[in-house]
Every structure is written in C-alpha cells, then in structure tokens.
Structure 1
C-alpha cells in the first residue's frame, strides 16, 4: 500500500506537466511505452528466475517522472526538492535497490520505465536537448551507470 501511495502521489506531481507539454494522447503513449520499457528491463533481469513475478505500473510512473523533469526541470517537489534532484535520486536508489534486492519492489522496472520515458520525451520534444542540455545530461548519468554496472556484471 505504501508503494502504491507513493506512486500515485508521484503521478499527481508529474502527470499534469507532461499532459500540458505533450498533450493527452502523447501522455498515454508515453505512459504505455514506459510501462513496456519497465517490463522489458524487468524481464531482462529476471528471465531465468522462473519463480519471479511482478505486477504494477511503477515503470510507467517512472517514465512520467523523467518526462516531467525533462519538460520542466525547474519544478519543485513538496516545494523544497528540485525535480531533477528527485529524479536522479530516484534512479540512484533504484540502482541500489536492484543491486541489493531491497524490498519486494521492481526497482528494475522503475529504471526501464525511466529510460523509456526519457527517450520518448526526447522523441516527442527534441528541443529539450538544446533548451535544457544540463538536465538531459544529468538525467542520462544514472542510466549510463546502470548499463555499465550491468555490462561489468556488478548487477
């Protein structure tokens, strides 16, 4: 219940930004692509674990988070946390969660969804690359770190 509440609260903070910038149809597409991206990365991590099962939309919510940050990097969460700090911290915690198998949470789905949301947002509005290059690069860093750790067999 706590995880669901956190996801819904997060969706509340970020969804309107994405809908306002990209439109309702694009938001739904981004949400579904992020959901699939989260499921795909989760599958890659657990394809040989026949006992593994997961349910939820955390990957989709993560995609919305990353999209919202790309589209409005100056946003503040709870009035005190810059959106980009929240997003980077979220993915760093997800790396930690993947590596240490923290809780009964699909941290890998969070990550896959964030990557899908990041890429989908850039495809929909490539101007963010030119208008917010520091944010684009800052949000890319934890993504690169995860893939390097995966390649090195550290995760």
Structure 2
C-alpha cells in the first residue's frame, strides 16, 4: 500500500508532534490520555480523541505510523479526504467507546495510541478492495486481506477475553468494525462485491459485542495467559501502574498535610502536589 494522501501525512505529523509533547511532559500526557475515571466521572470526553494522538514510546509511535502510512493512501485516494477523515475519527472514537464500556468498572484503567483508528482504516481497505493482500512484517509473505480480517477479529475477541499481548484489543476490535461499516456506508456497492468476506468478519464481531452487552461474564476466562497476567507487563499495564503509583503518592502527601500541616512538606512534595492540582483542573 503506497501513495499516501495529504491527509494521511498530516495525521502522521499530528501524531508525532502530539506524542513527542507527551514524551517530554508527563503532565501533558496524563491530561489527554484515555482514563476511565476522567471520562465517566469528570465528563472529560475530549480524551476519547486526544488519547489517540498519544503513544507510550517511540517504538509504539513508529509502528502505528508505519501502518497508517501504508494503509491510508488507498482509502483516502478512493473515497476522498473528507470521508477518509470521518472513517479515521469514527474508528478512533468507536474503539475507545468499546474500551470504555468493557472497562467501565476499572476507574484507573488508561490507554493511549492510534491503533483503533488505524485498524478502522485497515478494515475499510479490506471492505473496499476485495483482492488486496496484506504483508506480514517482518516476514516476506503476504496473505489475502479477507483471511487477515477474519484471523484478526478472532484473535481480538480471544485477546479481550484472556487479556493477552501488549495491545488494547477492545479498542482495536471496535475501531476495525466501525471503520468497515462507515466505509460501506460511503460506498455500498463494495458490499455486493465483497459481501462474503464482510459477513465473515462482521458477524462474529457483532455476536461478541452482543454477548458482552447482555452477558458481561463472558469476558471472564481462565487459561494459561490469564493466570500468567501478573508476570506480563504490557503497554496498558505500564500506564495504569504509573497512574496508581502516582495516586498513592498524592494520597500519602495529603495524609501528611492532615496530620502535620502544610509546613511539614518538603519542596519536592509541594511540587508534586502542585502538578497534581494542575492536572485535575
């Protein structure tokens, strides 16, 4: 996939600039990341979008931007920049909404990354271009797009249940489904050309979403992956652990003020309290 359009390039630039700011400022990062408590309790809905322009580190950013570079061109050139942007942001928000629903009872759950939006672009490509092939990096082989789509959906469903890997499978799955559906709304003729593949991808996804809405306990699974979770350190785990540790430190400082007064704080403790008060405004 080549011939990246101007909107795709601008999105890459925006992701790099926003992520770099997050790399250099933890205050900026925690002000705009996806966090269940901030969205549901404080109604900070902008995080559903801004979190998609933040990344944990350079590797996370580069991997996502390479995927966006290679897959954005065909969709943008085929549908035009406006419809391409609608697919991108609808997939981003749709993926985050699914993640918010699944983790609604985990107040400290947080995540970042453009993967949901990019999955939407990839699955829009699968819907629009039935004969496309997808290269498997770093292997020098390609597989049919329809096979990749089916395998990815099944892997994401299992990943959500067992919470394996370093990825937010829920945001990926939600973004992929929304991207495909919006692309078909813009170009309904693609369904007639590629209906078998689209149904194979959409039906298990929709069934799974229906089950987790009506029977949330299906998300519980006991296997080798889930039992080993305490030994697995993923991207989302890293963000969540940092957030929890930061909150514990603030609680310790507030308890110290309650017992001994403001004058008992060290200069470093006062700075931490000041940064925290700014982050929750």
Q: Above 0.5 in TM-score?
A: yes
Partner of 2:104: 47
CA spacing shift, 1:103–1:59, aligned 2, 3 Å:
same
SS of aligned partner of 1:77: strand
CA RMSD, Structure 1 to Structure 2 (Å): 1.8
Q: Which runs of 5+ in 1 are unaligned?
A: none
Counterpart CA distance in 2 for 1:115 and 1:44 is: 16
Structure 1 position 90, deviation (Å): 1.6
**In the alignment, is residue 68 of structure 1 matched against residue 125 of structure 2?**
yes
Decide which structure has the larger Cα Rg and report it. 2
Q: Is the 8 A contact 1:66 1:114 kept in 2?
A: yes
Structure 1 position 2, deviation (Å): 4.9
- Structure-2-length-normalised TM-score: 0.51
Partner of 1:137: 199
Partner of 1:127: 189
Give CA-to-partner distance per residue, 1:128-155, whole Å, 9 cap, x none: 1222211221221331342244234312
Q: Which of residues 50, 70, 77 in structure 1 aligns to 2:134?
A: 77
SS of aligned partner of 1:80: strand
Q: How many residues get paired?
A: 155
Q: Which has the higher contact order (CA 8 A, sep 6+)?
A: 1
Q: Is the 8 A contact 2:120 2:177 kept in 1?
A: yes
CA spacing shift, 1:17–1:144, aligned 2, 3 Å:
same
Counterpart CA distance in 2 for 1:27 and 1:129 is: 18
Partner of 1:109: 171
- Structure-1-length-normalised TM-score: 0.89
Counterpart CA distance in 1 for 2:165 and 2:195 is: 34
Q: Is the 8 A contact 1:17 1:71 kept in 2?
A: no
Structure 1 position 3, deviation (Å): 4.6
